[in-house]
């Protein structure tokens, strides 16, 4: 019996999965299942009713008070302004014209946009929603199929967590007691490498794709007009956001606010706004924020109960059950991280695994494959790539939920689930490459030292 | 003396306990976090497996700054932190964490254990349904990392610096624009120039986190934190349910943690400083002019705080009186360092 | 019943309109903070705290409105294959056994949480931060009360469908 009680947290996953597919809102399924298992824990005397108090503490301390998350409503607002005013459409159309000779030019532009956006924030909710708002209508209008469009946007939107600056890398540095600057440098090349892989896949996939409209014919007439009216203003805006970060004017979080304000000013300058439209943009932002934070709040209740019932210990015992050479250990750690990614958010995963992984890794001898001093940063990047992937893996890919929340009604969860599969394969290939060739990650910090 | 504090007249029978311990510091941080992990493993050995604490990383069960309320309410059994975190709830507790221009570890412990500090501390905590035990200590912190050298007091004006607690009030009086950034925001903010300076911890911790890559000027002494206390907060009802032996085991393990914190804390810094020097960090010592200005500002701040809060006044006065009388001995018994 | 639903919807809609205000205020506060800090050397701790106050109030007030507008994400893999009746039953089941209990627990402890802050007269832990922490904390129970109300609105809606 005692053993069965210890296994209780594991039971949370199938129950969660079952109700998830019922079609009831994800946010409330998370919260409800968490609550239910807390009550079961009370019956079994391993949970105390008072412990639910911490759900409030977690919402307040982890979500409300978390300055970094301010980026979400701001970037969502910026994305909505750009979309509703038509500026996003003009930008992507001009990108489409400029890249018309490349197969899948528009899709590549979206990936490029994601890579650029990645440098502004590492907050997945913000970047995925913003890119979805801007790119979905344009890509669907250009006849890209729903699955490919969804996958491309999801992958581009999650790059932000890998490409510095990234809050995830900061927290990982904190938990592993390693330098964040080093970690930023270590993650940069692998992040860019993945972006390049995405683009190669896009070219490959669209090489003979006759269905995709590469250039809207009515727009091809005057390239300079397209560039000056569609491309430059929006690019200047994005550069302003990036610039304010790199010039040290603002933190990445504040840059989101600057971006929203800039987008609003641009809309006013282009005379594309009315009061009604502004309220519409506000309400859209409010609903999208409600959607994203609903998931945050539900997820924090779920993972809290999981942990409080001893879920961490289950995972730790499971990991300690493995023995073998260093490569076996590293592979097992990677697989566990990947599996956890099916259900948890990166922050919960890093809190479970990193403190346990660090001592294991510190004692590892990789026979010169990676210098002992560099095992931790190298491994951190492996985990980071893995966690970026976790945003994409069904059923619980948070990036997929956020996309679904703002995608056109014609997009079904199934399109998104299927569309990300090629990108997940790319991610895993990238991960394996960095494992085999550590220099991909370690080269840059080494030459900068 | 005060080491063993029986909470009830009749002893409660020994029964094994499992307590969750949420931490405000990650376990990887030297002293700040490792002392908690040390307590976790030592108490299990010393109690013969009777008392088990389970350490949770910051945010794993509870966000760091929420642990006080949660322990008080009984949602958490216990938490590892520093009393300085509770400035917004119980300002007086800041006097049990670190005091600008305050005592070194020996003098601080003398006041706490034998000079009346502990009684005030426990009295305040019991009112919040918490029994807290001072369970760790660290050596002087560094005064902070600055991107530009500070040559005159005038240079401090307009600097944007991340600073925490009582020291922040002092810096504000010096014209520094202090802000409290979330731990995760400090690094990018300093790197990208949204702030010009930050204080964080002792050299051994700062070195590991690599602040030297972004800011070259490292200032000493850490006038704002000459020694820092860490605490183990236990829900008062949970504490009262423990037997006398178990309470004594916890107290003794914490006492041993203090010994360990001092020894390790003092021993580790030199190596970290050498590593930092090798990597090009420029070490500075604040000239007397600065320290005097900081100290004057600090006395104003302390007066203001004491005027606002009776508990603050109580512990502040107790400490002042103790230090006054202690000076008689210190001046006589110790070799002057500037001999 | 119809009047009750109308009242609930009205409350949800107008609290969400307050959210519009918080959104714009948040954006402007960031601008003022950045401009002030960069060009006028103003200290910004209070402004920074105001930012997360606005942010917290914004999303807490809007959780319920989002549900009323059916904008919370669903995994619709099977939803399309289910009959309307099944979907309606799922919605009613979810509201009764997931959402409403969940809101009840958060509201109950949220009141305790806010009360603790109020009684301790809690202020910011930063020297020049904002005081009166209980105000923003009270948005927690309030937000979940609104979310619970939205469940009531959805339930009334679904039972209406049943009758009609
Ligand atoms: Na990023
Ligand atoms: Na996932």
Whether the pLDDT of residue A127 is over 50: the answer is: yes
Largest CA distance in chain A: 76
Tokens 């030019």 -> residue: A105
Ligand 2 centroid–CA A107 distance in Å is 23
For ligand 2, the distance from its centroid to the CA atom of residue A389, given in whole angstroms, is: 7
Q: What does DSSP assign to residue A268?
A: H
**Chain B contact probe: residue of C55, C125, C133 with most B CBs at under 10 A:** C125
Q: Does C36 touch chain B (CB under 8 A)?
A: no
Do C45 and B86 make contact, defined as CB atoms within 8 angstroms? no
Instruction: For residue B8, report the phi and psi dihedrals to the nearest 5 degrees.
Output: -135, 160
Confidence band of A241 (pLDDT split at 50, 70, 90):
confident
Task: Please report which ligand is nearest the Cα atom of A115.
Answer: 1
> Which of C40, C56, C74 to probe the A interface (max A CBs under 10 A)?
C74
Q: Do B179 and C45 touch (CB under 8 A)?
A: yes
Q: What percent of chain B has pLDDT over 70?
A: 94
What residues of chain B, 74 to 93, have a C-beta less than 8 Å from chain C?
85-90
Which residues of chain C does A260 touch, with a Cβ-Cβ cutoff of 8 Å?
Answer: 27
Q: How many CB pairs under 8 A join A and C?
A: 200
- Calpha distance B162→A211 (Å, rounded): 55
In a domain, A426, yes or no: no
Q: Is residue A379 part of a domain?
A: no
For chain C, the domains span 2-163
Counting as contact any 3 or more CB pairs under 8 A, the partners of A are B, C
Q: Please tell me which residue, A243 or C11, carries the higher pLDDT value.
A: C11
Nearest CB among C26, C77, C110 relative to A414 is that of C77
Q: Which of B69, B86, B180 sits opposite C116 (nearest CB)?
A: B69
Residue A122 within any structural domain of the chain: yes
What does the block give as tokens for B242? 């423990």
Q: Is A374 inside any structural domain?
A: no
- B226 against A164, higher pLDDT: B226
pLDDT value of residue B2: 46
Can you give the pTM of this predicted structure?
A: 0.88
- Chains touching C (3+ CB pairs < 8 Å): A, B
* CB neighbours of residue C4 within 10 Å: 11
Q: What is the pLDDT of residue A97?
A: 77
Q: What is the ipTM of this complex?
A: 0.91
Whole-angstrom distance, CA of residue A398 vs CA of residue A391: 5
| Beta pairing, strands B130-138 & B51-56 | unpaired
Task: Give the tens place of pLDDT for each residue, A269-289.
Answer: 888 788 888 998 999 999 989
Q: Which residues on chain A are in Cβ contact (under 8 Å) with B185? A: 67-68, 170, 251, 253
Ligand 1 centre distance from Cα of residue A123 (Å) = 7
Centre a 10 Å sphere on the Cβ of residue B147 and count the other Cβ atoms it contains: 16
Ligand nearest the Cα of residue A166 is 1
Judged by a CB distance cut-off of 8 A, whether residue A304 touches chain B is yes
Could you report the per-residue pLDDT of C112-135, keeping only the tens digit for each? 999 999 998 898 877 778 889 999
Buried b / exposed e along B170-179 (16+ C-beta atoms within 10 A): bbbbbebbbb
Summary mean pLDDT of chain A? 84
Let me know if residue A229 belongs to a domain: yes
Residue C56, pLDDT > 90, answer yes
Nearest CA in chain B to A172: B184
More confident residue, A247 or C105: C105
Question: Locate tokens 């990936």: which residue?
Answer: A111
- Domain membership of residue A380 (yes or no) is no
Share of chain A above pLDDT 70, in %: 94
Is C127 within 8 Å of B177 when comparing Cβ atoms? Answer: no
3-state helix, strand, coil split of chain A in percent (to 5) is: 80, 0, 20
Does B66 sit within 8 Å of A54, measured CB to CB? Answer: yes
Confidence (pLDDT) at B275: 93
The per-residue pLDDT for B338 is 61
CB B295 within 8 A of CB B166: no
Angle at C30 between CA C24 and CA C35, to 5 degrees: 125
CA distances B24 to A361, B57, B68, B78, Å, are: 24, 7, 10, 11
Report how many domains make up chain A: 1
C164, pLDDT greater than 50: no
CB A378 within 8 A of CB A441: yes
pLDDT(B112) > 90: yes
How many Å lie between the centroid of ligand 2 and the Cα of residue A428? 14
For residue C79, the SS3 value is: coil
More confident residue, B123 or A106: B123
* Rounded distance between C-alpha atoms, residue B209 and residue B202, angstroms: 11
Q: Are the C-beta atoms of B79 and B64 separated by less than 8 Å?
A: no
Binary contact (C87, A23; C-beta < 8 A): yes
pLDDT digits (tens, 9 = 90+) for A209-222: 666 665 555 555 56
A4 alpha carbon to ligand 1 midpoint, in Å? 42
Residues 6+ apart with CB under 8 A from B259: none
Q: Is residue A417 part of a domain?
A: no
- Average the pLDDT over B95-119 and give the result: 93
Contact residues on chain A for C66, CB-CB shorter than 8 A: 286-287, 290-291, 294
Distance from CA of B25 to the nearest CA of C (A): 17
Selection from A163, A173, A105, A179 nearest residue A135 by Cα: A105
Q: Which domain holds residue A176?
A: 69-289
Helices (H), B222-287: 236-240, 244-278
The string of pLDDT tens digits covering residues A288-329 is 899 889 988 998 899 899 989 988 888 877 777 777 777 888
Band of the pLDDT at B1, cuts 50, 70, 90?
very low
pLDDT above 60 (res C163): no
Taking contacts as CB-CB distances below 8 angstroms, the residues of chain A near C41 are none
Q: In this structure, what is the dihedral angle of CA atoms A399, A405, A407, A408, given to the nearest 10 degrees?
A: 160
Q: How many CA atoms lie within 13 A of C115 on its CB side?
A: 9
B88 and C124 within 8 Å at the Cβ level: the answer is yes
Q: How do residues A152-162 score in pLDDT, each as one tens digit?
A: 999 998 888 88
């Amino acid at each position: 019996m005692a053993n069965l009680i210890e296994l209780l947290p594991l039971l949370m996953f199938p129950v969660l999965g079952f109700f998830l597919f019922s079609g009831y809102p994800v946010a409330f399924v998370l919260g409800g299942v968490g609550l239910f298992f807390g009550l079961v824990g009370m019956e079994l005397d391993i949970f105390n009713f008072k412990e639910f108090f911490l759900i409030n503490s977690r919402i307040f301390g982890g979500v409300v008070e978390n300055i970094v998350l301010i980026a979400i409503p701001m970037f969502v607002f910026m994305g909505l302004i750009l979309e509703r005013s038509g500026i996003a459409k003009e930008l992507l159309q001009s990108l489409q014209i400029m890249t018309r000779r490349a197969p899948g030019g528009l899709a590549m532009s979206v990936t490029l946009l994601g890579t650029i956006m990645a440098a502004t924030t590492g907050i997945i909710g913000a970047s995925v929603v913003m890119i979805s708002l801007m790119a979905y209508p344009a890509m669907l209008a250009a006849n890209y199929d729903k699955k490919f469009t969804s996958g491309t946007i999801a992958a581009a939107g999650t790059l932000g967590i890998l490409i510095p600056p990234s809050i995830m890398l900061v927290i990982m540095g904190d938990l592993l007691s390693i330098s964040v600057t080093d970690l930023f440098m270590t993650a940069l090349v692998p992040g860019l490498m993945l972006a390049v892989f995405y683009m190669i896949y896009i070219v490959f996939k669209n090489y003979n794709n006759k269905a995709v409209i590469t250039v809207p014919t009515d727009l091809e007439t005057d390239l300079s007009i397209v560039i000056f009216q569609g491309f430059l203003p929006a690019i200047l805006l994005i550069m302003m956001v990036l610039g304010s970060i790199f010039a040290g004017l603002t933190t990445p979080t504040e840059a989101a606010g600057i971006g929203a304000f800039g987008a609003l000013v641009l809309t006013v300058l282009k005379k594309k706004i009315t009061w009604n439209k502004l309220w519409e943009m506000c309400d859209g932002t409010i609903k999208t924020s409600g959607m994203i934070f609903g998931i945050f709040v539900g997820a924090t209740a779920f993972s809290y109960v999981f942990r409080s019932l001893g879920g961490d210990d289950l995972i730790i015992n499971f990991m300690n059950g493995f023995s073998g050479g260093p490569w076996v250990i590293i592979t097992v750690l990677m697989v566990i991280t990947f599996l956890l990614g099916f259900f948890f958010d990166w922050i919960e995963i890093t809190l479970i695994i990193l403190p346990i992984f660090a001592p294991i890794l510190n004692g590892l001898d990789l026979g010169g494959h990676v210098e002992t001093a560099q095992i931790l940063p190298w491994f951190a990047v492996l985990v980071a790539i893995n966690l970026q992937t976790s945003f994409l893996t069904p059923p619980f890919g948070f990036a997929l939920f956020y996309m679904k929340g703002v995608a056109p009604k014609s997009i079904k969860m199934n399109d998104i689930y299927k569309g990300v599969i090629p990108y997940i394969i790319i991610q895993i290939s990238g991960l394996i490459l960095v494992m085999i060739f550590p220099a991909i990650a370690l080269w840059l910090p080494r030459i900068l030292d | 003396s005060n080491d063993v504090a029986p909470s009830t007249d009749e002893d409660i029978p020994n029964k094994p306990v499992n307590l969750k311990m949420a931490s405000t510091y990650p376990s990887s941080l030297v002293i700040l976090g490792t002392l908690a992990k040390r307590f976790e493993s030592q108490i299990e050995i010393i109690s013969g497996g009777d008392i088990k604490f389970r350490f949770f990383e910051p945010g794993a069960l509870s966000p760091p700054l929420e642990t006080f309320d949660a322990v008080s309410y009984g949602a958490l059994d216990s938490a590892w932190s520093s009393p300085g975190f509770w400035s917004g709830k119980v300002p007086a507790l800041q006097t049990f964490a670190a005091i600008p221009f305050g005592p070194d570890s020996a003098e601080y412990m003398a006041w706490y254990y034998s000079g009346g500090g502990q009684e005030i501390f426990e009295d305040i905590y019991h009112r919040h349904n918490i029994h807290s035990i001072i369970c760790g200590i660290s050596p002087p912190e560094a005064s902070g990392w600055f991107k530009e050298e500070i040559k005159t007091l005038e240079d401090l004006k307009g600097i944007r610096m991340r600073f925490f607690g009582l020291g922040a009030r002092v810096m504000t009086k010096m014209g520094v624009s202090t802000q409290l950034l979330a731990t995760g925001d400090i690094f990018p903010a300093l790197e990208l120039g949204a702030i010009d300076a930050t204080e964080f911890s002792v050299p051994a911790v700062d070195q590991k986190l690599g602040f030297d890559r972004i800011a070259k000027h490292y200032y000493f002494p850490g006038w704002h934190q000459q020694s820092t206390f860490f605490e183990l907060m236990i829900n008062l009802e949970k504490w009262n349910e423990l037997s006398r032996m178990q309470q004594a085991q916890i107290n003794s393990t914490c006492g041993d943690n203090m010994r360990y914190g001092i020894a390790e804390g003092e021993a580790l810094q030199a190596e970290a400083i050498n590593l930092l020097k090798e990597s090009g960090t420029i070490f500075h010592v604040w000239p007397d002019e600065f320290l005097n200005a900081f100290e004057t500002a600090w006395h104003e701040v302390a007066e203001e705080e004491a005027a606002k809060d009776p508990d603050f006044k109580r512990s502040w006065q107790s400490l002042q009186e103790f230090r006054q009388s202690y000076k008689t001995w210190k001046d006589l018994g110790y070799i002057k360092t500037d001999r | 019943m119809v009047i009750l639903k109308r009242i609930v919807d009205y409350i949800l809609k107008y609290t969400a309109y307050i959210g519009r205000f918080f959104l714009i205020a948040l954006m402007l506060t960031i601008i003022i903070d950045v401009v002030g800090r960069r060009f006028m050397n103003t200290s910004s701790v209070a402004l920074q705290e105001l930012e997360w106050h606005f942010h917290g109030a914004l999303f807490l007030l809007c959780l319920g409105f989002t549900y009323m507008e059916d904008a919370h994400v669903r995994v619709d893999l099977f939803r399309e294959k289910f009959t309307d009746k099944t979907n309606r039953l799922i919605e009613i089941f979810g509201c009764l056994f997931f959402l409403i209990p969940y809101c009840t627990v958060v509201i109950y402890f949220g009141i305790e949480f806010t009360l603790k802050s109020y009684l301790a007269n809690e202020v910011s832990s930063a020297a020049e931060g904002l005081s009166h922490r209980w105000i923003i904390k009270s948005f927690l129970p309030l937000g979940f009360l609104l979310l619970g109300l939205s469940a009531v609105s959805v339930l009334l809606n679904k039972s209406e469908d049943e009758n009609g």
